[in-house]
Amino acid sequence: MTTTAPYDKTNIFARILRGELPCKKVFENEFALAFEDIHPSAPVHVLVIPKGEFVSFDDFAAKASEVMQAGFWRAVGTVARQTGVDKTGYRIVANHGADAHQIVFHFHVHVIGGRQLSSKMANMPKELPQTA
């Protein structure tokens, strides 16, 4: 899929949002749903997704309302505090498009922490998941 492809309502995260597929929920409000990544690369690896049809970060940044953007990023901060990684440190990642290995085309932010992460940003989390 290209970075300009339209939103596909059958993507996995859309199905999780609709309750058609299960998830290990961490947080939910009117703006966002957060759940554990199925293949965690650290003790805390939570995905935060907006409640709206946005293909990627670029799509979200360009099209989401100010209220949605503020509500979503507040939810990301809440997830970090709720999981405790705000005290030890964490990384937030949003993969956009092919070069960044985006594999699910519903915008999502990874909240990763719970251990010391690699200082090599460009290598995480896909290429070196064991040291991300």
CB of 42: closest distance to ligand 5GP in angstroms?
Answer: 11
Q: Which residues contact 58 (CB under 8 A, 6 or more apart)?
A: 3, 96, 97
* Stretch binding ligand 5GP (CB under 6 A), from 32-40, 69-77, 83-91, 115-123: 32-40
Interface pick for ligand 5GP out of 63, 101, 115, 120 (rule CB under 6 A) = 101
Structure tokens at 94: 């949003």
Structure tokens at 102: 């985006």
Cβ-based burial of 85 (10 A; exposed 0-12, middle 13-18, buried ≥19): buried
CB of 131: closest distance to ligand 5GP in angstroms?
Answer: 16
Round to whole Å and give the CA distance between 58 and 33.
19
Using the rule CB under 6 A, is 59 a contact of ligand 5GP? no
Which residue, 2 or 65, is less far from ligand 5GP as judged by CB?
Answer: 2
* Stretch binding ligand 5GP (CB under 6 A), from 33-41, 57-65, 71-79, 111-119: 33-41
What one-character DSSP code corresponds to residue 22? -
Using the rule CB under 6 A, is 117 a contact of ligand 5GP? no
Interface pick for ligand 5GP out of 5, 8, 38, 121 (rule CB under 6 A) = 38
> Annotated catalytic, 106?
no
Q: What is the C-alpha end-to-end distance of the chain, expressed in Å?
A: 26
Cβ neighbours of 2 (radius 10 Å)? 8
Q: Which residues bind ligand 5GP (CB under 6 A)?
A: 12, 23, 35-39, 47, 95, 101-104
